[in-house]
């Protein structure tokens, strides 16, 4: 068996790194565009879509917490009125 030495080909450290599929290359390019802020945004950019969904979920949780606290406040007001 021959020992593989550290070949340098272009920017890649190993020869097999240059054997990326077109899909992998496209994903890397899309990710770079996303980081630069020049992507197409949600829903075309899956990273933007994930961020949007996370923000929507966080907003839903906040809304639920606010609604629950308002409901508790009204419940305590009505109980106080019933005691009078």
What φ, ψ does residue 80 adopt, rounded to 5°? -65, -35
State whether residue 84 is helix, strand or coil.
coil
| Region of 22 on the Ramachandran plot (φ > 0 left; ψ -120 to 50 alpha; else beta) | alpha
pTM of the predicted model as reported, rounded to 2 decimal places:
0.54
Q: Where are the domains of the chain?
A: 7-39, 42-84
Model confidence pLDDT, tens digit, residues 16-33: 556 778 888 888 888 888
Q: Write the pLDDT tens digit of every residue in 29-79.
A: 888 888 888 888 888 888 899 999 999 999 999 999 999 999 999 999 999
Q: Comparing 13 with 79, which gets the higher pLDDT?
A: 79
């Amino acid at each position: 068996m021959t020992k593989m030495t550290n070949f340098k080909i272009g920017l890649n450290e190993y020869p097999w790194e240059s054997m990326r599929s077109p899909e992998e290359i496209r994903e890397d390019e899309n990710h770079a565009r996303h980081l630069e802020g020049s992507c197409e945004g949600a829903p075309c950019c899956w990273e933007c879509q994930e961020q949007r969904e996370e923000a929507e979920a966080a907003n839903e949780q906040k809304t639920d917490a606010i609604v629950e606290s308002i409901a508790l406040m009204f419940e305590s007001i009505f109980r106080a009125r019933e005691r009078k």
